[in-house]
Structure 1
Amino acid sequence: MAKRYGGKFSPDPDSSEVEAPQTRPVEASFRGRAPARHAARINILFLLPLLILPTVFFRPVSEMITDFAGGAVLLLAAWLLRDGVRAEDAYNERKVARRPAIPRKIFASVLTGAGVGLLVFGGQWTVLNAGLVGVLAGALHLFSFGLDPLKDKGMDGVNRFQTERIAKKVEAAEAMLEAMHDAIGRTGDRQLVSRVEAFQATARDMFRTVEDDPRDLTQARKYLTVYLQGARDATIKYVDLHGTARDYSARSDYLSLLNDLETNFAARTQKMLLSDRGDLDVEIEVLRDRLNRETLHIDTQGQ
């Protein structure tokens, strides 16, 4: 029977050379993920300013500068819009979140109007016409993509200090997860990218649990800070090592680390959920006991 050749210097080392840990199914990495909104339209907005290039160099210098300025402003608007949509998606995913510090989508609409106005003005139109077309373009942009979130979410009627502390912790944890994903993406290893994404989904389950019940923050604090920071640092160090030498034993160790992290995060999340259920059961029993005593008291008075 034919046997596939493999060794420690092969792209896929033989299992006898390096024993890889058992990994979870790749489809787990897509759990809880939604497709990027407006991705196609945003990509088109990045391409539209490039349409001026074939003709801009054959125009007078003043018009060429105006057209270049308009194109640059439109590119900046597209970049702000992309970041604004990402910030809005992150805001919508969380149950407790602060509004974005910078209203990127609104700024993108203003810059779109300014960029279109400059391009129209560069075409030897009057200032009034350029201004009207720019205002129309900005209004249509704002209508198409909407406003940024302008209010904090999940902070009404509760301890604001506690909810703000949770929001800050979750934001910092999300930043570390994104740093892990960005770092591992540089390796080009799709299996590792999928495993990191699966771990991200598990960690975000913990984030949502903490947001549902702020009392769980005490149990999860070490996971949101120490363990995630260690995971991020280990990922960056592995990527640096991967860039200098293909160490498959290090890859195996890193996969084992991801498995351990995911298992422990999932176990802690489940424990917090069970604790919350236990607290609910206690509250129900106490309430039932009070109702029973109140009913007995009413019956005694009636007699």
Structure 2
Amino acid sequence: MAVRFGGQFSPGAKEPEEASVPLRAAPGHLRHRLESRTAWITAAASPLLMTAFFQDPAGMAANFAGFGIIAAGMMLTREGLQAEAAYDARRVARRPAYPRKLFGGVLTGLGLAIGAAEPGALAGAGIIGLVGGALHWLSFGGDPMRDKGMSDTDAFQQDRIARIIAEAEAHLAAMQTAVQRTGDPAIEDEVARFAATARGLFGRLEDNPTELASARRYLGVWLLGARDATIKFADIFARTRDSASRGAWQALMGDLTTEFAARSARMIEGGRTDMSIEISVLRERLAREGLAAPSGGIDAAAVAPTTAQVEDQRAVTLDELLRTPADKVRQ
């Protein structure tokens, strides 16, 4: 069956309704700019396979082992780059569970050393391995080794939010998988717009964990209902192409997209309100100390010394200190 394709700049394309909401990338869609290098390095190690059949049994085993270890190191490096991309994409993030790029570099150097090992040149093979590990570090860098933006965040609350968002991402993935059965790009775009708006709310919740109580029904009840409704609609529409069901489902998705975007906007406004309160409190404290006016301007009269105060600040000499009160009266 022919499928009509379209995009953002195609005729009749709709403007994204969630453009004002900061988007959060879907899990698995984050790609590091250096990720393609791992495939090229694995391909560059292929001569170890091609020359293995021209070696003695020990050399063949060494070549196979060297290539396999290098390939495993590149797999770990690619996973480390993906974890780093996810880490960089978030304002609040935990460091990766273990340093994948570091272990990938160690395996790469070990694979090069084993592939280059010969009975009389073990020292040279070791040097090749060390150089390979150093070049790996220079090419891909190190792993994130500390948490980011979590100095004032409760670890238990952050883990709880991570679990809830993981469940919500599973609901979105089920919705996107279900609408693929319809074979209609417009329906898939509708779900993609809703998913982008929902992920914007996920990102706001990660930045402000205190909003979990008010946003939990969005990530739980509403998102679960949207998933169930989308799966049922996809089953019906794939068989009957019922326009009435499509209209009802599109109205539901439009309402949900609008509500999720509005909730993200309210969280942004709540953050601005909290900032305004902090500024007002600080201004009042400065005003009580006589350093600033309550409106935020600097009170020059409060901080500038008067003429009498300037005259009282005369230099005190040793003669002044030794002068008796009677001498001061006569003066």
Q: Is the 8 A contact 1:23 1:259 kept in 2?
A: no
Shift in Å at residue 231 of structure 1? 5.2
1:61: which partner in 2?
A: 57
1:89 equivalent to 2:81? Answer no
Matched, 1:79 2:75: yes
Amino acid at match of 1:107: F
CA RMSD of aligned residues (A): 4.3
Worse-matched range after superposition: 44-53 or 145-154: 44-53
Q: Which among 30, 39, 43 is matched to residue 43 of structure 1?
A: 39
Counterpart of 2:259 in structure 1 is 264
Answering whether residue 139 of structure 2 is matched by residue 144 of structure 1, we say yes
Q: Distance in 2 between matches of 1:205 and 1:212?
A: 11
CA distance in 2, matches of 1:271, 1:30: 13
Give the one of 268, 272, 284 matched to 1:273. 268
Cα distance change, pair 65–227 in 1 and its aligned pair in 2 (3 A) = farther
- Name the amino acid aligned to 1:36: H
Contact 1:30 1:197 in 2 (8 A): no
Per the alignment, in what secondary structure is the counterpart of residue 98 of structure 2?
coil
Q: 1:101 to 1:59 in 2, by over 3 A?
A: same
Alignment partners' CA distance in 2, 1:36 and 1:26: 28
Cα gap change, 1:160 to 1:39, in 2 (>3 Å): closer
> Number of aligned pairs?
278
Listed one character per residue, the Cα deviations across residues 184-241 of structure 1 (whole Å, up to 9, x for unaligned) are 78998766665555444323322332233332122222223444455566677788x5
Give the secondary-structure state (helix, strand or coil) at the position aligned to 1:96: coil
Structure 1: which 5+ residue stretches go unaligned? 1-8, 13-21
Contact 1:91 1:99 in 2 (8 A): yes
Unaligned runs of 5+ in 2: 5-12, 294-300, 303-331
Larger mean Cα displacement after TM superposition, 254-263 or 53-62: 254-263
Contact 1:99 1:151 in 2 (8 A): yes
Q: Kindly provide the CA deviation profile for residues 44-102 of structure 1, in whole angstroms up to 9, marking residues without a partner as x.
A: 13423334444333333332222222222222222211111111111111122111112
1:207 aligns with 2:202: yes
- The percent identity for this pair of structures is 42
TM-score by length of 1: 0.70
State the match for 1:4 in structure 2: none
Match of 1:100 in 2: 96
Contact kept, 8 Å, 2:18 with 2:197, in 1: the verdict is no
5 Å-filtered alignment, 1:1-303, equals: 11=3, 24-25=15-16, 36-121=32-117, 126-170=121-165, 173-174=168-169, 195-229=190-224, 248-249=241-242, 258-285=253-280
The one-letter amino acid of 2:140's match is: F
Separation in 2, partners of 1:119, 1:77: 14
3-state SS in 2 of match to 1:57:
helix
Which amino acid counterpart does residue 264 of structure 1 have in structure 2?
A: E
Describe the shift of the 1:55–1:220 C-alpha distance in structure 2 as closer, same or farther (beyond 3 A): same
- Residues 130-183 of structure 1: CA deviation (Å, up to 9, x unaligned): 222112111211221111111111121444443444445445545655676678
Q: Give the structure with higher Rg (CA).
A: 2
